[in-house]
Structure formats: C-alpha cells, structure tokens
Structure 1
Amino acid sequence: MDSSLFKDVTTTRGLKYHYYSSPAVDEKPTLLFLHGFPSTSYDWRHQVPFFKEKGYGLIVPDLLGYGGTDKPSDPASYKYSLMTADIVDILDAEKVDKVIPIGHDWGSFLTSRLASYYPERFVAYGFLALAYTPPSPDFNIHGMLAFTKQAVGYELFGYWLFFAEDGSEKIVADHVDSTLSILYPSNPAIWVTDLAPTGALKAWLLADKKAPLAPYISKEDTDKFVETLKTTGLGAPVNWYKLMVSGLGAEDDKNIAKENYIVNKPVFFAGCKQDYVCLAAPAIATLGQTCPNATVAEFETDHWVQLAAPEKLNGELLKWVEGIATA
C-alpha cells in the first residue's frame, strides 16, 4: 500500500482519522475496507492492489483506536452511532457515492451499523468471517456466553471479558509472541480451548505459551505486528470490547429504527469453515432472515480469510461487485 496515498481528516466530533484513499476510475464504485482487532489498514494489503488495478475506488482507514487514527481512552467514544458518523465524514471529505463497505471481524460489526444508521449512503455490504449482525438492544455478554456454550459446547466469546479488563493491554505487551501465536495459529482449532472460553486467553498469555504461526504470516507481518504493539499498544483498541461488555453498545442500539434491522440491499458473506469463534454454518443458516439478497462464499480458512486465501477471496468479491455494478 503506497504510503503517499494516505490522508488525515478531522471528523465532525474533532477526531483525526488516518486512511488510504485512491479514486475510482470510469465511475466504478468505491470499496470501503474496514479492519478488525488487533489490526490496522495493513490487513488489506492483499486486496488494495488487486482492486486498485481494476479501477475501483478505495478508502481504507485505520479505525478508531488504531494506527495513525486518534485513540480516545473513554469507551463511550467508540459507540457505533459515533464511529459510523466518523466514517460518513470520511466519505464526505472524499466526495464519494456508490460506496460498498467490506468489513472483517469488528469491521464487520461496524459495517452492520453503517447499514443501520446510514443505509442511504451505501449500495451493498460485504462481511468477512463475521456475518451481518442486527441491532441487539438487549445484548448481555454473560447471556450470550451461556447461550453459545449450550448451543455449540463452548463459550465463543469469553476472551471479550479479558480484553475488557483493566490492564489487559499490559499483559499483551508483556507477551507479544504469545499473543501473536494465539491470534494467528497454524492450528486454528486451538481457539476452542485456548482463546474462546472465559479465562483461557489470559491463562495462555500469563503462561507465555506459544504455538506455530499460520503459514500466511510472514516475517514482515510479524515485525509489523510487534512494531505496532510497541508503538501504539492495545490500550485504545480494547475499548471496542469494553463498549460491548459494559452494555454501552446495547444501549446505543436502542437508537436504531426497527425498519433498518433488515438489509435488503446486496450482501456478500465470506464464511470461514475453520473459524472457531465466528462460526460459518449457523451464520449461513440464518442469514436469509436478515439479508434476503445475500451471496455466500465459503472458504477453507481460519478467521483471517483476507490473509489466508487472498486470491480466492478477491476473485469472489470481484465477481459479486461486478454483479452489483451491472444489475
């Protein structure tokens, strides 16, 4: 990603966002790539050159708390009603329409809320690993953990509680190699025992356990990860977890109009068969209820599909985007 194509903009609420921008050619749509945790715009290094060459507009921000973007310490600053407004401010600064947001992980959740708050600004929505998530004004973390344990045999999101703890970022900083290996393991099934259940991730890190890295993570990638952690840490990014665990996220969802719970515009979902947290099968089974115009592609990858299978993902996304453009 060409560093000369990064810009900074100050949003209406006074926060600086750092983002990559490349204009569309021949009136093609603009793709808005939204990364997850614990990433930055660097997560899209395999997608940006592919779509840029084909003339698509690209906006790829470091999301709030990450990279070159501001890092407020108050979890309330990370409300989705506020962050979606920030994203729209970026679109306004770039004067773009015909925008298609494509999110991964928490970026998928943000994409869901763009559909909730600003449906008029987008022509379609892409979700990688985590499918469209309807508003959940009654969300409770402990209720969700109990439900997932009963449904699939283990808690899916117990690690949220660790990241929401005060001081979790210091534990991560003290065990960088251990963190890297559990987030990007060569054997994704270890998430069932050592990431997802409550207390498992903290125990892994405090024991300084390590596992072989996934083959798609290069030496350059690990160096970038270590550099990012040393430079900015995770003190700000963990606020995305604190928001949800505290109940502020559910409270925020109460502001969403009921008519915006269903997404009728085109939706793309990349289901990852070896993702043991964002489970593909149940997401696919229920997607039609909330996204009646959905296209599903399944991948034999772990959670990080844009890194693990970039050529296949890029091809599927291109086919879907071209279908929208010609519909």
Structure 2
Amino acid sequence: MDAFNHRTERLSTGRTYHFVDQRPASYKHGRTTTLLCVHGFPDCWYGWRYQIMSWAQRGFRVIVPDMLGYGGTDKPNDPAEYSTKRLCADLSAILDLLDIRKAVLVGHDWGAFTVSRFALWHPDRLLALVILSVPYTPPSPKYIPIKQVAKIAPNLSYQAYFEEQRATKEIESTLNAFLRLLYRSPNPTQRFRISQLYKGPQVFSKVQVPDSDLILNTEVFFSSPLMADRMNGPLNYYRTALFRHEEELAAKLPSNLRPDLPVLFIWGTKDTTCTSSLIQKAHKFIPRLQDYALEERGHWILVEAKEDISEKVGQWLEDLVEVQKARL
C-alpha cells in the first residue's frame, strides 16, 4: 500500500477524488505518456495493483482514481450524479488538474463502459483506448429499461436486481459472501444469481482473489469515515440508465469512435457477461479495434491474468509509441 503515491484533490467539477499518481523514474512532463485507469464494480484503485508498477516501470505515468462512490472519493446519494457524462467530466478534470492534454484511457468492467463513453464525450483527450472485459456498445436511439434488457439477455439479469434500492441494504447485510460470489472461479455454464448468496459458502468457496487480498480489498474498497450506505454509491451505477440515455440523446453522441483512435479489447473466454456477438458488433463501430482473447479466464482478468494484462497492454502501448515516434 505504501509503495503507491496517493493524492486527494478537489476537481473543477466540484467533486473530491482520491487517486494514485505513479510516475516512472524517467518521467518528463509533457513527454511521458499517461495512462488513466478506471475500475469497475465492485472495486477501487486497488484493483489495478498488479498493473500500476508494471506499467510505471515501462515508462508510463499511471493515474488510478477511486471512482465516484468508492474508497476515498465523494459518495453522493443521488443516482443522477453517477451518469457517464458526469463521470467523464470528472476524468477530464483529473487530466486538467495534472496538466495532461491527452492520455490513454484503460477501463475494466464499468470502467470499460466509462472509458468507451469518454471516447465519445471527450474524443480530443484520447491517445488510445484499452477496454477490458466489457465490449463497446453504441448509444441507443431508444431507451430500454434494465428489466427489459434482462429478459432479452438473461446473463445480465443481476443488473435488474442491482437497480432496485433494496439491493443496497440486502447486499450490505451479507457483504463478504456477496464479494466471494462475485470473485468465484469462472464457470461459463453458471450465471450470477443473487439467490446463491443464501445457499451457503460451498456454492462459491473457490475464488479468483486470494482470501488475504479479498480482506484487504474490502478494507480499501470501503475506506470511508461513514460506513452507512457503503454499497449505495457503487450500486448507483446500475441506476443511471435513463439519465445516461437522455444525456446521450440530447448531445447526439455518435455511434462510431474516432476513426484514427487505436483501441485494444481484451476478454476472458469464460466470462459469461461477454458474448461473441457483442464483440463482433463492436468491430462495426471501431475502425481500429484489435481484440485479444484470454483462454480459460473469466471476468476478473486484472487478477486472474495479471501478468498477461500487464504484458499485453504494456507491449501494445510501447508499439504504439514507437509508431508515433517514427511518424514524427
């Protein structure tokens, strides 16, 4: 924990964020490429613990915030505060605070969705985009409630439960079991079901995160002087569908990402939330999309495949930097 450089700053958006700011030994302001890493649900900056030092040692500056509702960052109660437009404004404000004009955005899970939308809301701030576990989906011209989405795609039915306000207290009442259920070993034939929380630990005793890390991750994840409603902020991300749709429709966001933007997508073949049809669809909207499958890996690839992620992303970025240098 002490090996990371922590900062807590009030942004121009009025919100206070905690983030790790890890600079390489070779850092040069204005010349060193910055990676802005965005975690998903339920996670925090600590989810990137295996990648931060690896990428910093490769010469990148690595910025990893606790996203809104998590860790040492502000935790508003209103779900509208968690719309992707507002989250992207916060990320842009972090770059402004650090005097960084452009960065590589890297996201996992909800972070993958957020950085993909960042590419639409702030296309001029991106050098490249790395998406992990959740493939790109374009803004929809029609609002589809989550409960309807769950009927169409049963593998996403858990989101309909998370959307309900009652989920906050129910999950808090069995938090350790909930986290163990999420971090269980990948099984493509077994969907995530909340009912499994009440069937005993044997259902999900084998997890991808070591118990010692799970305990520490929980402590870091909920590092807040106010422990009440500690799951409210994280679950609020699932309560933003209508807000997101209205904002994207009003802004007339495009479906396609910037045509010259390099994009890398990495996923685990045993991740039940990531289907081949969604991956193929993403190629239609991202001209420079490269996708890479991690065989026999599930959703939590930052931990399950920590060396693979560190190496694959690091090498991909180094190759991009070399190409850019060659063009100058």
Classify 1:254/1:176 alpha carbon distance in 2 versus 1 (closer, same or farther; 3 Å): same
**CA separation in 1, counterparts of 2:253 and 2:237?**
24
**CA separation in 1, counterparts of 2:183 and 2:253?**
37
Match for residue 323 of structure 1?
Answer: 319
Candidates 213, 217, 222, aligned match of 2:206: 213
Classify 1:92/1:230 alpha carbon distance in 2 versus 1 (closer, same or farther; 3 Å): closer
Deviation at 1:303, TM superposition (A): 0.3
Deviation at 1:100, TM superposition (A): 0.4
User: Residues 136-215 of structure 1: matches in 2 within 5 Å?
Assistant: 136-140=140-144, 141-148=146-153, 155-189=154-188, 191-192=190-191, 195=192, 200-201=193-194, 203-209=195-201, 210-214=203-207
Classify 1:307/1:256 alpha carbon distance in 2 versus 1 (closer, same or farther; 3 Å): farther
Classify 1:132/1:230 alpha carbon distance in 2 versus 1 (closer, same or farther; 3 Å): same
Q: Tell me the alpha carbon deviations over residues 183-218 of structure 1, each in whole angstroms, 9 at most, x when there is no partner.
A: 0112433642xx1xxxx31x223445541232x412
Q: What count of residue pairs does the alignment treat as equivalent?
A: 310
- For structure 1, which segment, 178-187 or 31-40, has the greater mean C-alpha deviation from structure 2 after superposition? 178-187
Match for residue 14 of structure 1?
Answer: 14
1:267 corresponds to 2:267:
no
**CA separation in 2, counterparts of 1:2 and 1:226?**
17
Is the 1:30–1:97 contact (alpha carbons within 8 Å) kept by the matching residues of 2?
no
**CA separation in 1, counterparts of 2:301 and 2:121?**
27
User: Residues 276-291 of structure 1: matches in 2 within 5 Å?
Assistant: 276-279=272-275, 281-291=276-286
Q: Match for 1:316: what amino acid?
A: K
Match for residue 294 of structure 1?
Answer: 289
Is the 1:29–1:99 contact (alpha carbons within 8 Å) kept by the matching residues of 2?
yes
Match for residue 82 of structure 2?
Answer: 78
Is the 2:103–2:127 contact (alpha carbons within 8 Å) kept by the matching residues of 1?
yes
Deviation at 1:240, TM superposition (A): 0.3
Q: Match for 1:78: what amino acid?
A: Y
Unaligned 5+ segments in structure 2 are 324-328
**TM-score by structure 2 length?**
0.88
**TM-score by structure 1 length?**
0.88
Match for residue 326 of structure 2?
Answer: none
**CA separation in 2, counterparts of 1:2 and 1:189?**
37
Q: Match for 1:270: what amino acid?
A: I
Q: Match for 1:144: what amino acid?
A: V
Match for residue 104 of structure 2?
Answer: 100
Match for residue 113 of structure 1?
Answer: 117
Is the 1:182–1:191 contact (alpha carbons within 8 Å) kept by the matching residues of 2?
no
RMSD of aligned Cα (Å): 2.0
- For structure 1, which segment, 257-266 or 97-106, has the greater mean C-alpha deviation from structure 2 after superposition? 257-266
**% identical equivalent positions:** 29
Classify 1:57/1:258 alpha carbon distance in 2 versus 1 (closer, same or farther; 3 Å): same
**CA separation in 1, counterparts of 2:114 and 2:282?**
17
Match for residue 151 of structure 1?
Answer: none
Q: Secondary structure at the match of 2:204?
A: coil
Classify 1:108/1:290 alpha carbon distance in 2 versus 1 (closer, same or farther; 3 Å): same
Q: Match for 2:152: what amino acid?
A: F
Unaligned 5+ segments in structure 1 are 149-154
Deviation at 1:250, TM superposition (A): 1.3
**CA separation in 2, counterparts of 1:61 and 1:36?**
11
Q: Secondary structure at the match of 2:274?
A: coil
Q: Tell me the alpha carbon deviations over residues 121-166 of structure 1, each in whole angstroms, 9 at most, x when there is no partner.
A: 1111110000122222423123322332xxxxxx021111211212
Is the 1:19–1:59 contact (alpha carbons within 8 Å) kept by the matching residues of 2?
yes
Q: Secondary structure at the match of 1:181?
A: helix
Deviation at 1:34, TM superposition (A): 0.3
Q: Secondary structure at the match of 1:17?
A: strand
Deviation at 1:222, TM superposition (A): 1.6
Q: Match for 1:212: what amino acid?
A: S
**CA separation in 1, counterparts of 2:190 and 2:244?**
25
Is the 1:108–1:130 contact (alpha carbons within 8 Å) kept by the matching residues of 2?
yes
Classify 1:122/1:250 alpha carbon distance in 2 versus 1 (closer, same or farther; 3 Å): same
